[in-house]
Amino acid sequence: MKNSDNTEYAKKEIDGIKQDVESLVKRLGNIKSKGGGIMNEQLDILTETIADLRDKGEKKGQDIIKEVSNSTLDHPVRNLMYAFGVGFVLALLVK
């Protein structure tokens, strides 16, 4: 091989590598855009699940508050004694 042949061969190799890199960058861009769609879809599902759990938690909390309120109306002295006992125990633990 002559020097000019080596130069032509190197130029062809460099052009081939350049095309390969450009193709790879293009493919990565496509993967990124597709992956972003999948990630957005998963994020939407996660957001819906969190909203559903929040709604269930709020409903459960409201039910518990109603139950405690009804219990206090039905047995005010008993609940007052429970509250006093819990407060007394917590005061002992804090000291």
**pLDDT confidence bin for 68, thresholds 50/70/90:** confident
Residue 31's domain comprises: 3-94
In which band, very low, low, confident or very high, does the pLDDT at 33 lie, cut at 50, 70 and 90?
low
Counted domains in the chain: 1
Alpha carbons within 13 angstroms on the beta-carbon side of residue 5 total 2
Give whole-number Cα distances, 70 to 65, 67, 75, 79, in Å: 9, 5, 9, 11
| Reported pTM | 0.45
> How sure is the predictor about 9, in pLDDT bands with cuts at 50, 70 and 90?
confident
